[in-house]
Amino acid sequence: MNTTILTELKAEAKDLNFLYGQVHALKDINLPIERRKVTALIGPSGCGKTTFLRCFNRMHDLYPHNRYKGEIILYPDNVNIISPEIDPIEVRMQISMVFQKPNPFPKTIYENVAYGLRVRGTKKKQVIDERVEKSLRGAALWDEVKDRLHNLAFDLSGGQQQRLCIARALATDPRILLFDEPTSALDPIATSKIEELIIELKNEVTIIIVTHNMQQAARISDYTAFMYIGEIVEYDRTEKIFTAPSSKLTEDYITGRFG
């Protein structure tokens, strides 16, 4: 009898290398991304976790002298999304990102959420209205803002702004949602709200999160990859990484001996 739990892959990095000019920032990364699970990337500052995350939506294409090598395959399409033949804008339309610092646009709450639809040329007000409401509900923000959708987004608190950015990212039905240390600029209460939200969101979308906070990775992720100087040292189920890591380096990091 086969006892292995059947999982489904949403994406997979294969021998991924990344160079900033001459700096070899990611070295031979191999990592599966399970569908509708939360995969956490942890590691000390400068280990390349954010660089890796930003490969998934081709953010590095915005700056000169960056080179990708290897593959990130998106399933079920079997497309290598870092291939130069693939349009980065198409990739970003399917893989959304939430940033470290809340970065709402200087627009109303409604227009912030509608932004992704507008850049895709959606015109129908009814469609946009529905998506805005659904996304704000999905980001657990609807009840707080439903009476002031047309106020400027800057009127919201930091935690609300970050949930607004999550709603903005959800509005276009992404296949993968990337989080780059989404709570590092937030207070503990706002942080726990975002964490609860991420746990809920994985029912609908595959999530990759970069975090500095190991407790956060332990609380919300299903899989954890520990990175060190541009390489993946260890990848496993989160419980395993935090209770019985197989690498000494991982153990030293999660027990706080360095980092």
Partner 1 sequence: MKKNIFSKRYLKETFIEGGLLMAALFSVFITISIVIILAYESYGFFKAVPLKDFLTGTQWTPLFAEPRFGILPLVAGTLLTTLIALIVALPLGMLVAVYLSEYAPHKLREIIKPVLELLAAVPTVVYGYFALSFLTPILQKFLPDLSGFNALSPGIIMGIMIIPYVSSVSEDAMIAVPMHIREGSYAMGATKLQTAFKVVIPSAFSGIAAAFIIGISRAIGETMVVSIAAGGMPNLTINPLEAVQTLTAYIVQVSLGDVPHGTVEYKTIFAAGMTLFLMTLGFNLLGFWLRKRIREVY
Residues that bind partner 1 (CB under 8 A): 57, 59, 62, 89-90, 92-93, 96-97, 99-101, 103-107, 115-116, 118-120, 154, 165, 168-169, 172
Instruction: Tell me how far, at minimum, the Cβ of 93 lies from partner 1, in Å.
Output: 4
Nearer to partner 1, 100 or 192 (CB): 100
Count CA atoms closer than 13 A to 91's CA, side-chain side. Answer: 25
Nearer to partner 1, 96 or 216 (CB): 96
Report the distance separating Cα 28 and Cα 84, nearest Å.
Answer: 18
Nearer to partner 1, 66 or 238 (CB): 66
Instruction: Tell me how far, at minimum, the Cβ of 161 lies from partner 1, in Å.
Output: 10
Enter the DSSP assignment of 60: G
Whole-number Cα distances in Å, 105 to 110, 153, 239: 11, 7, 38
Nearer to partner 1, 17 or 103 (CB): 103
Instruction: Tell me how far, at minimum, the Cβ of 174 lies from partner 1, in Å.
Output: 10
Q: Which residues contact 233 (CB under 8 A, 6 or more apart)?
A: 43, 226, 227, 247, 249, 250
As a whole number of Å, the CA-based R_g of the chain is 18
